[in-house]
Chain A
Amino acid sequence: MTHAPKTAAAHRWVARFDRGTDLVAAARAARAAGFAQIEAYAPLHLPGLSAAIGFGDRASAALALGGGLLGGSAMYALQWFSVARDYPIDVGGRTPAWPGLLPSTFEMTILGAALALVAGMLVRAGLPRLHHPIFDIPGFESASSDGYFLCICTRRATDAQAAREFLRAQGSVALFEAGPAWEPAKP
């Protein structure tokens, strides 16, 4: 994740693109060129962009499954405890008569899955986080309407120079370097 300004040694270059296809191509090329820490910003879900920066989501479905199992089994356990242990009512030997316990169990399975899924999604997406250094880039507000940005973060100054050269070669329309404030870089 690009929360890097904490590490003072990190160099960050951000390029702006006018088209989503350019951004996806640049992200792919950056990864192929060996830059490890890259992040891409777009105003819409671009298919292939997260794969281009090397992010794969394998955990969402597992989180939903886990949350669902937890919610459902907790609900069933609560009902079972209530009717079979704490307050059993023996009518015709039909304690605990499990089929009647299933609808509530089902509802809480779905709720558990949804809550785990969304909570997990927020945590993994780094949200909520109301401010982020990337917002300081001049013009970054267009990232929520029609701007596309690619950020490359490097540790060494020589790599930073390479990142800058790389981004310039990708046809970006503007280039910024991270500092105390983001300054547009001189071409």
Chain B
Amino acid sequence: MSAGAADGVLVGQPTFSSIAETIGDVVLARRAPRWWRRAFLACSLLSALFFGSIGYLFSEGVGIWGLNVPVVWAFDITNYVWWIAIAMSGTFISAALLLTRQAWGASISRFAEAMTIFALAIAGLFPIIHLGRPWFFYWLAPYPNVMSLWPQWRSPLVWDFFAILAYLLVSILFWYLGLVPDFATLRDRARGRGAQLAYGLLALGWRGEARQWQLRHNAQLLLAGLAIPLVVSVHSVVGLDFATGNTPGWHSTIFPPFFVAGAMFSGFAMAMTILVPLRRAFALEAFITDRHLERLARLILAMGLVLAYSYTMEIFMAWYGADRYDIFTTVNRMRGPYAPVYWSLIACVVVVPQALWSGAVRRSPWVLFGIGIVINVGMWLERFMLIVTSQHRDFLPSAWGMFFPTVWDWAILVGSIGFFLWLLLVFVRLAPVVSMAEMRELVASRGAPR
């Protein structure tokens, strides 16, 4: 742990009571601020669009999308990979920073974990809704059935089922374990009977006994250690969904690590995009400081370089492998009908993040906010490019085709973003966005007055 308050992880002199007031009372305030109510209304409408579109999809089938043969996966799987990538970084950020004893992790981990769970819940919907018969999605699970059939265990799609299941549950456990003492604080500070009951139940009767703190501390460390290989495995399996097919442009052993790097990159960028307005809205600048954003920007830059290396290696391997279909796919991405998508993504994902080399950029929160958005747009385009360009030029020219999105493709994409923000808005009203328990530890470790 770095010494003193001079490293900018805490600004000013927060005390135990100011922690409870700044962080906890935001949740207990009866009336939500105006910006929150407006944002909530907008996001509720978008969520209605999301679920309405899914309802229409269920009644009409996947024909309402722009899918066809040969492009059988497009927005659905693009959205899936995009959301699951955003979900990867949250638990990773908090687990890695906890294990490496980085003091600056304490104030962003709660929020990053929430981001993980919500993005993962949304990501998990896409494989279900992209099925022609979504009501049979439970066939992925092994259970005794009259057909005497089993899942195909060697299929990455089945691995995906188990990976997402494990990741969702472990992330929820990790998040909830962190929340329990904060729920106890809210229980004890709440004035209304309803809030006392609700937080009392959520706190499970937390008493703050020495043994409880010790057990929770040890469980968090162990869960963090378990979560990191899990994160890597989950997105590797997503990469294998593609790599095990013999489609040119997908069939590559680089995919699992390449996908993991892309996931970290877009997840860090999404964390940045949400942290900047969040700390402004809740006046949390004392806990989520410029220093945090600066560190996060460095991580984004590092992951962006790994990703740029992966793109280069993809091109190199197509040439080095000398497979004519691979070479064609690679050239087609740069010069074919989807070339604008390719070059836009290179601009968003490889070129723009280079601005983060500049210290002045890393210290300007709203510039970082903009870069975060650009990166996430770029990462969405990357998945779209990867998925659609490999399919639209099949092995035989007679089977070539094009994909054009319909209004329902867009409705589900935009709606899913709205629903994600809706979940975050509800979360910031119901639970502290910064862990009060960790903040107390941070303040105590600095020897600050209480």
On A, residues with C-beta under 8 Å from B are 1-2, 19-20, 27, 39-46, 49-50, 52-53, 55, 57, 60-61, 64, 68, 75, 78-79, 82-83, 86-87, 97, 100-101, 103-104, 106-108, 110-111, 113-115, 117-118, 121-122, 124-132, 134-135, 141-146
The list of the 4 closest CB pairs from A to B, nearest first, reads A100-B154, A141-B188, A128-B204, A50-B214
B406 beta carbon closer than 8 Å to chain A:
no
* Residues of A with C-beta under 8 A to B248: none
Per the bound structure, the CA–CA distance linking A103 and B152 in Å amounts to 13
Set of chain B residues within 8 Å of A79, measured between Cβ atoms: 153
A141 — which chain B residues lie within 8 A by C-beta?
188-189
Q: Smallest CB-CB separation from B187: which chain A residue?
A: A144
The complex places the Cα of A19 from the Cα of B444 at a distance, in Å, of 10
**Inter-chain contact A117/B150, CB cutoff 8 Å:** no
- Contact (Cβ within 8 A) B219 A43: no
Cβ contact within 8 Å between B222 and A60: yes
Q: How far is the CB of A146 from chain B (nearest CB, A)?
A: 4
**Interface status of B295 (Cβ within 8 A of chain A):** no
**Are A121 and B216 in contact, with the CB atoms below 8 A?**
yes
**Smallest CB-CB separation from B176: which chain A residue?**
A118
A64 touching B222 by the CB < 8 A rule?
Answer: yes
Query: Across the interface, which residues of B come within 8 angstroms of A121, CB to CB?
Result: 177, 215-216, 218-219
CB-based nearest A residue for B21: A145
Candidates A46, A113, A129; contact of B210 at CB < 8 Å: A46
Q: Which residues of B contact A143 (CB under 8 A)?
A: 188, 207-208
Contact of A41 among B165, B174, B209 (CB under 8 A): B209
B213–A107 contact, CB under 8 A?
A: no
In the complex, A187 Cα to B205 Cα: how many Å?
Answer: 31
Whether the pair B212, A127 counts as a contact (CB closer than 8 A) is yes
* 13 new A-B contacts at CB < 8 Å, known A50-B214, A101-B153, A118-B173: A44-B441, A45-B437, A60-B219, A64-B226, A103-B156, A110-B170, A118-B177, A125-B209, A126-B209, A142-B188, A143-B188, A144-B181, A145-B188
* B181 lies within 8 A of A146 (CB): no
Option from B17, B207, B223 in Cβ contact (under 8 Å) with A117: B223
Q: Are B170 and A114 within 8 A (Cβ)? A: yes
Rounded to whole angstroms, the CA-CA distance of A110 and B219 in the bound complex is 14
Chain A residues with CB under 8 Å of B324's CB are: none
- Measured CB to CB, the closest approach of chain A to B124, in angstroms, equals 14
CA distance A122 to B177 in the complex (A): 10
B159 located at the interface, meaning its Cβ lies under 8 Å from any Cβ of chain A in the complex:
yes
A44 to B450, CA, bound (A): 13
A107-B159, A141-B188 as given contacts; A55 in contact with B150, CB under 8 Å: no
A19-B450, A43-B16, A145-B20 known; A60 vs B208 contact (CB < 8 Å): no
Q: A20-B444, A111-B165 are in contact. Are A49 and B213 (CB under 8 A)?
A: yes
Question: CB within 8 A of A103: which of B167, B229, B237?
Answer: B237
Residue on B nearest A64 in the bound complex, by CB: B222
Q: B159's closest neighbor in chain A, by CB?
A: A103
Inter-chain CA distance A167–B153, complex, in Å, is 63
Alpha-carbon distance A44/B212, docked complex (angstroms): 10
Interfacial chain A residues near B149, Cβ < 8 Å? 87
| CB nearest to B142 among chain A residues | A78
Cβ of B204 and Cβ of A127 under 8 Å apart? Answer: yes
Question: Is A145 a contact of B185 with CB atoms below 8 Å?
Answer: yes
Min CB distance B189 to A, Å, is: 7
Contact with A along B168-182 (1 / 0, CB 8 A): 011001100100110
The one of A39, A57, A110, A126 in contact with B218, judged by C-beta atoms closer than 8 angstroms, is A57
Given contacts A43-B16, A108-B162, A128-B205, contact A87 B148 (CB under 8 A): yes
B162, B167, B208 — which one has the most chain A CB atoms within 10 A of its CB?
Answer: B208
- The winner among A19, A27, A111, A131 for most chain B CB atoms within 10 A is A111
| Distance between B402 CB and nearest chain A CB, rounded to angstroms | 34
